[in-house]
Amino acid sequence: METFSNACFSATFHWEDGLLSGIDLAPGLRPSTRPQSPFGVELALIVENYALLDKDEWPELPLATRGMSPFSLRVLGHLREHVTRGTWTTYKQLAAACASPRGARAVGRVMASNPWPLVFPCHRVLAVRGLGGFGPGLDLKRALLNLEGVCPPLQRPT
């Protein structure tokens, strides 16, 4: 387990048998640990400098994908490749892009169970009429989007 922080959030990386099994995000600073994994130094630099980055710079991380459905992997792969820093999409648009035009709720479930937020940037997926959900909280979702230059809707229109 490795935790790295910046002024906005902390990210704890969980490793099992050399595979990244999950990332926990939390708002605000937490004490950082010394890098322990082969990717630790690079991950620390990315998290610590997140606000300064122009593009996503995640290395190809070994992921613990066992038990994930092909649909989940397809959605996460499309998200990582096509919804880049400074952009966003909706659950509905992401579903359509993954050949499931009526699958917005299924995409929402994939985002809710995404074990690797930031690497697969589920915070960039919004509801048609607002922010939608985000496990670590909507304030952090909004803050991440703002760091990336996106000004999302603050609430649902009335």
Show which residues are catalytic.
122
Contact 30, 7 (CB under 8 A): no
DSSP assigned state of 57: -
Q: Which two tokens stand for residue 21?
A: 């099994």
Neighbours of 153 (CB within 10 A): 12
The span from the CA of 144 to the CA of 81, in Å, is 18
Neighbours of 131 (CB within 10 A): 20
3 state DSSP class of 146: helix
Longest dimension (CA), the chain: 49
Strand-strand pairing, 19-27 and 9-16: antiparallel
Which residues, listed in sequence order, are joined to residue 3 by a DSSP beta bridge? 12
